[in-house]
Amino acid sequence: MISKDSKIYIAGHKGMVGSAIWRCLEQNGYSNLYGKTSQELDLRNQNAVSVFLDELKPEAVIVAAAKVGGIMANKTYPYEFLMDNIIIQHNIIQSSFNLGINKLIFLGSSCIYPKYAPQPIHEDSLLTSSLEPTNEAYAIAKIAGVKACQAIQSQYGREYVSLMPTNLYGINDNFDLNNSHVLPAMIRKFDDAKTQDNADVVLWGSGQPLREFLYVDDLAEAVKYSLENSMPDYLYNVGFGSDLTIKDLAEIVQEIVGHTGKIIWDSSKPDGTPRKLMDSQKLNNLGWIPKVDLKEGIEKTYNWYKNR
Contact 205, 267 (CB under 8 A): yes
**7 belongs to an annotated ligand binding site:** no
**108 belongs to an annotated ligand binding site:** yes
**6 belongs to an annotated ligand binding site:** no
Catalytic option among 9, 30, 138, 160:
138
**203 belongs to an annotated ligand binding site:** no
Give the chain's end-to-end CA distance (angstroms, integer): 38
> CA-CA distance, 101 to 110, in Å (whole number)?
26
**189 belongs to an annotated ligand binding site:** yes
**100 belongs to an annotated ligand binding site:** no
Reported in sequence order, the residue ranges of 116-246 that DSSP labels E, i.e. its strands, are 159-165, 167-169, 201-204, 210-211, 213-215, 235-238, 244-245
**35 belongs to an annotated ligand binding site:** no
**12 belongs to an annotated ligand binding site:** yes
**16 belongs to an annotated ligand binding site:** yes
Q: Does residue 138 have an active-site annotation?
A: yes
**13 belongs to an annotated ligand binding site:** yes
> CA-CA distance, 11 to 294, in Å (whole number)?
27
Reduced to 3 states (helix: H, G, I; strand: E, B; else coil), residue 95 is helix
Minimal CA–CA distance to 13: which of 49, 50, 66?
A: 66
> CA-CA distance, 206 to 12, in Å (whole number)?
34
> CA-CA distance, 184 to 256, in Å (whole number)?
13
**17 belongs to an annotated ligand binding site:** yes
Binding site members for substrate: 189, 204, 211, 271
Task: Pick out the residues of the known binding site.
Answer: 12-18, 107-110, 142, 165-168, 181, 189, 204, 211, 271
Residues at the binding site for NADP(+) are: 12-18, 107-110, 142, 165-168, 181
Q: What are the residue numbers of the active site?
A: 138
